[in-house]
Amino acid sequence: MIDCHNHVGVELLTYLRGEFPYCQHLETLVHEGRLLGIDQWVVFPMVSYLALDLGALRKGEIRYGSELEKVPYAFENRRHLHEIYRLFPKEAESVIPFVMIDPNREVPGQVSALRELRGQYPFAGLKLQATIIQSNVKGLFSEGKAFLELAEEWNLPVLIHSSVLKTDIWSQSSDILDLAEANPGLRFCLAHSCRFDREYLDRLAQLPNAWFDCSAHRIHCDLAVQDNPIVAPVMRRFESDYSRPEKVLLDLAEAHPQKLLWGSDSPYYSYVADFEGKPLSLRSSYREEVDCLMALPVDLRRQVAEENTRRFLGNPQ
Ligand SMILES: [Zn+2]
What is the tens place of the pLDDT at every residue in 178-222? 999 999 999 999 999 999 999 999 999 999 999 999 999 999 999
Residues in the chain: 317
Q: Which of 139-148, 155-164, 207-216, 268-277 has the lowest mean pLDDT?
A: 268-277
| Distance from residue 47's CA to the centre of ligand 1 (Å) | 9
Query: How many other C-beta atoms are found inside a 10 Å radius of the C-beta of residue 89?
Result: 9
Q: Smallest Cα–Cα separation from 212: which of 258, 254, 169?
A: 258
- The span from the CA of 116 to the CA of 105, in Å, is 18
| Distance from residue 143's CA to the centre of ligand 1 (Å) | 24
Q: Smallest Cα–Cα separation from 116: which of 75, 149, 84, 148?
A: 75
> To the nearest whole percent, how much of the chain has pLDDT over 90?
97
- The span from the CA of 2 to the CA of 98, in Å, is 14
| Distance from residue 206's CA to the centre of ligand 1 (Å) | 24
Q: Reply yes or no on whether the pLDDT at 89 is more than 80.
A: yes
pLDDT of residue 316: 65
pLDDT of residue 275: 79
Query: How many other C-beta atoms are found inside a 10 Å radius of the C-beta of residue 12?
Result: 21
The average pLDDT across 132-151 equals 98
Query: How many other C-beta atoms are found inside a 10 Å radius of the C-beta of residue 251?
Result: 15
- Report how far apart, in Å, the C-alpha atoms of 280 and of each of 38, 58, 200, 273 are: 29, 19, 27, 5
| Distance from residue 21's CA to the centre of ligand 1 (Å) | 12
Is the sign of the CA dihedral 161, 167, 169, 175 positive or negative? positive
| Distance from residue 5's CA to the centre of ligand 1 (Å) | 6
| Distance from residue 114's CA to the centre of ligand 1 (Å) | 21
| Distance from residue 215's CA to the centre of ligand 1 (Å) | 7
Mean pLDDT of the residues in the chain: 97
| Distance from residue 12's CA to the centre of ligand 1 (Å) | 15
pTM above 0.75, yes or no: yes
User: Which residues pair with residue 3 across a beta bridge?
Assistant: 41
52-68: per-residue pLDDT in tens? 999 999 999 999 999 99
Residue type at position 209: N
Q: What is the DSSP letter of 37?
A: T
- The span from the CA of 63 to the CA of 45, in Å, is 19
| Distance from residue 108's CA to the centre of ligand 1 (Å) | 25
| Distance from residue 27's CA to the centre of ligand 1 (Å) | 18
| Distance from residue 226's CA to the centre of ligand 1 (Å) | 21
Q: Reply yes or no on whether the pLDDT at 276 is more than 90.
A: no
Q: What are the residue ranges of helices labelled H in 226-269?
A: 245-255
pLDDT of residue 134: 98
